[in-house]
Structure 1
Amino acid sequence: MPAGYFVTGTDTGVGKTITSCALLHAFAMTGKSAVGMKPIAAGCEQGKWVDVERLAEASNISAARALINPYALLPPIAPHIAARQAGIVVDLAVIQQAFDALQERAEIIIVEGVGGFLVPLDERHDTSDLARALALPVVLVVGLRLGCLNHALLTARAIHASGLSLAGWVANQIDPHMESQAENIRALQKRLDCPLLGVLPYRERIAAKEFAGLLDITQLSQLRKR
């Protein structure tokens, strides 16, 4: 049975894409066919949606761009605003159909969310509704910076309130000058009821394949067996 994970973050810009790509490489290293999906991308740079490009490059199978990224929005703003400006209505059923099609092609699907876990997608739905529609366990990316403890714990509470399982979390060192990083990580390990999959160090140039070796995805496999 194909499996997948929904990658969300404590905020925008905390490393969801690099974590998603590292997960794809990590599963590929175990011999799994793995494909990344970015249901909604907001922000086009020189005619490209960079997150989508990176996910496609990290996947070890190819798939139609319409399946990997059903909704590509131009401005780098909240998706419900970008969609309204473009006269588009984000339809969760369209995303579900694309996900189902990807399931026929890959054993592992890594779905990267947009923004944080409760970012609005339209007037009625937010990212949590998308994750719930796909019924995927969630991997939480915590951007290590001042305020991350509160953001991480609030996000974890929102994930549980949505009825979804929090499969694991990744600590991403986005602020090289953050004080007491180790203490912050230990505080979250005590308070989040899921395993720490790995700590991603700060890098000027990020190599997702290199980071794959820093993630312990065996803990995710154990979750699937329970």
Structure 2
Amino acid sequence: MIEIKQLTKSFKKNRIIDQLSTTFSKTGVSVIVGTNGSGKTTLLNMMTNLLEADRGDILIDTLSPGSKAYKSKFFYLPSDFYLPGYMTGKEYVQFVLSRYETSEYEKAPILIELLDLADGQHKTIESYSFGMKKKIQIVAALAANTEYIIADEIFGGLDFDTSLLVQELFAAVGVTKKIIIVSHERNTIDRFPDDVRLMRHGSLVHFEGSPEELTQVIKQEEVLREKLAIVQKHFMSSEVLL
């Protein structure tokens, strides 16, 4: 279980995370949504020990950030990642899996085939498209077999059918492991409606309504509301407004 207690993070005078407390169970898929700048990535970076909190605690199965045991609990799929361009896809996966004692090497070829990387695995990553880079990261994440997978906008850059396939993979893995996804994709929320969390005002709260209701709530966030007002003023015809 992941326990977050009174977590706070500020950048200069701007408080991004404000005494956030929440828990995540050991299984299932949780989806975090929120407007740009609401603190979603900041929260994930603190959970994965890439960023230090100003105050508060994060525990993964009672372990504190910084230890090897803590880091071995999760695989992080960030939205902006660096991959070694000189490695082939297969070499990269093998290298990553060598860093995790939990790795299931036999799953990698199956995932590579599923994600249409059979030919691309022998090419250097520098030749990969953005979508292929996402796919090879997903292969490594699932084959590493960690107890938790934390993913930030993982579906961006994937075509529609691949997104659906990865969702099904996450659903299958989520039966025995925990997957936390930051996503703005409507189909992701539709696929995993059981635990949707809304990031707003520095806090993370469960959202119990429908995807349509969630869309309306997000539209009322201050920054987006102001932009939508500009759209209505300058781009909507008078006939639509009537």
* Greater gyration radius: 2
Q: What TM bracket, shorter-length normalisation? A: 0.3 to 0.5
Q: Which structure dedicates a bigger proportion of its chain to strand?
A: 2
TM value normalised by structure 2: 0.33
Q: Normalization by structure 1: what TM-score? A: 0.35
